[in-house]
Amino acid sequence: MSIGKIIDAGQLIKRDRRHIWHPYTQHGIEPDPIPILRAKNASLFDAEGREILDLISSWWTSIHGHSHEQLNNALAEQSCHLPHVMFAGFTHPPAVELTEALLDVLPTGLEKVFYSDNGSTAVEIALKIAYQFWRNEGETSRNIFLTFDGGYHGDTLGAMSVSRGSGFFNLFEDLMCAVKTVPFAETWEGDSEAETRETLALEALASVMKEERGRIAALIIEPMMQGAGGFRFCRPEFLRAVSDMARGENILVIFDEVATGFGRTGKMFACEHAGVTPDIICLAKGLAGGYLPLAVTVAGDGLYKAFLNESFEKALAHGHTFTANPLACAVAIRSLALFEEEKTFERIEAIERQHRLVLSDLTGRSDIARARLLGTVLACNLAGEAGAYKSGASLFLKEWYLAHGLNIRPLGPVVYLMPPYCITAAELQRAYDGLFEGLDALSLAN
């Protein structure tokens, strides 16, 4: 494939360093970014044409793989018709078609789709819908959001507030809205105390619900799998119990499926594991196949109706410039269709089977703890590492893996694989081999 012109990687990095401030990067110490000139399927290619296997799907977005011919075509075709139009007072075929396609795969009961363009805003919108719903209904004392220890919901102020249990945002506490954080009953392979942990967590939840009765607007949780907070998994029983308790207290239930949506956990949506339908669901990351920023917040009809009125005051005062961008919607429609056309769930099941075969190798290692598996996500902790987000061990491993052609990027003490569904068995084997060699290298270096 021709890239059109020769790129001088050294020059590009120099120009980057001069003016660009990268996300989640400590520019005081971290190495130069790697210029990527193209990507195909599960692989990225750098300026020298070196292949880097993308085992975290480029921040969990690339579900079908990079530069998929069908998605490329959908994008190109839509760009000839309508790249963008404002979404207040206008609509367009890709938005309507995508909405219907999404409702086809979402659990029944979720019916009204609010578009935005990233996971954080999808969460902000969910929080605003929940908060305003109670005000529109005349219940003005519901000001608190319930969230979970280790929960992560995004980087904007409201999303940070409900992510306070992730530990990323302690600096910003004074700016946050009112939140109560309750324990998340995490579990892992070979865990014999899951039920005890659940009982304790549910007791804590019950006591907060009792203390704050009538003051909690909504509860927000990443169903089945917390992502950025450390790939902590829970049992479906826990998710069901939490949702039932919230319902019992008239508390709205928000599922943040920004990371878990679109097959990641082995089901189209993680809530299917527990058979629970939330009042509001947030989707982003994989929605547009990893091509373009697109997000939705989907609510039940009952919530929507509470915003209908003669005056604007009860309307949802929210909207982003690129809401429901037609290019992104067109790619998302194609991406959803690929699940049938490419039998994507067979690929997902194959990945899970292959992951399962290495799970025992992971649990057998003394330098590894809490190995766990859910759908296409394989995760474990470095034993004995309490580990800050950018701990020495995590930076060592990230660099080691990149040097060996693998994009594996530990989150503090947590090492995980989250490949695009198009990854081949041979590529996955290469990933496992590299994963173990990197861990060996870390042991030797310590």
Ligand X SMILES: *Cc1c(COP(=O)(O)O)cnc(C)c1O
Asked if residue 345 lies in contact with residue 64, where contact means CB atoms within 8 angstroms, the answer is: no
Q: Indicate the residue among 125 and 182 with the shorter CB distance to ligand X.
A: 125
252 in contact with ligand X (CB under 6 A) = no
Minimum distance from residue 352 beta carbon to ligand X (Å): 20
Q: Which of 338, 329, 269 is nearest to 296 (CA)?
A: 329
* Active-site hit among 117, 256, 267, 398: 256
> Quick count: other Cβ atoms within 10 Å of Cβ 349?
14
Q: Report in angstroms how near the CB of residue 378 gets to ligand X at its nearest.
A: 17
Q: How far is the CB of 377 from ligand X (least distance, A)?
A: 12
Instruction: Reply yes or no on whether 115 is catalytic.
Output: no
Active site residue 314: no
Burial code (b: 16+ CB inside 10 Å, e: under 16) for 83-121 equals eeeebeeeebebbeebbebbeeebbeebebbbbbbbbbb
CA end-to-end span of the chain, whole Å?
A: 42
Active site residue 256: yes
By CB under 6 A, the residues from 138 to 177 that bind ligand X are: 152-154
Query: Considering CB under 6 A, how many residues would be counted as binding ligand X?
Result: 15
285, 291, 401, 421: the catalytic one is 285
24 classed as catalytic: yes
Q: Which of 115, 152, 401, 421 is the catalytic position?
A: 152
- Exactly one of 43, 78, 99, 120 binds ligand X (CB under 6 A); that residue is 120
Does position 119 bind ligand X by CB under 6 A? yes
Give me the residue whose beta carbon is nearest to ligand X: 119
Among 78, 118, 187, 335, interactor with ligand X by CB under 6 A:
118
Residue 411 found at the interface with ligand X (CB under 6 A): no
Question: Apex CA 159: angle with CA 373 and CA 89, to 5°?
Answer: 110
* Residues within window 215-234 making contact with ligand X, judged by CB under 6 A: 222, 227-228
Q: Does 259 engage in binding with ligand X (CB under 6 A)?
A: yes
Residue 391, class by beta-carbon neighbours within 10 Å (0-12 exposed, 13-18 middle, 19+ buried)? middle
Q: For residues 275-304, which are near ligand X according to CB under 6 A?
A: 284-285
CB of 144 to ligand X, least distance (A): 20
Nearer to ligand X, 229 or 434 (CB): 229
The structure tokens listed for 213 are 């009765």
Does 256 contact ligand X by CB under 6 A?
yes
Residues 437 and 441: their CA atoms lie apart, in Å, by: 6
| Burial of 405: CB neighbours in 10 Å, binned 0-12, 13-18, 19+ | middle
Q: How far is the CB of 122 from ligand X (least distance, A)?
A: 7
Cβ neighbors of 390 (< 8 A, separation 6 or more) are 26, 412
Question: Minimum distance from CB of 260 to ligand X (Å)?
Answer: 7
Helix axes 425-445, 392-403, angle to 10 degrees: 130
Rounded Cα gap, residues 146 and 230, in angstroms? 19
Nearer to ligand X, 93 or 107 (CB): 107
Cα–Cα nearest to 340, from 104, 110, 115: 104
Structure tokens at 352: 């899970």
Q: Can you give the binding site for ligand X, defined by CB under 6 A?
A: 118-120, 123, 152-154, 222, 227-228, 256, 258-259, 284-285
Supply the residues annotated as catalytic: 24, 152, 256, 285
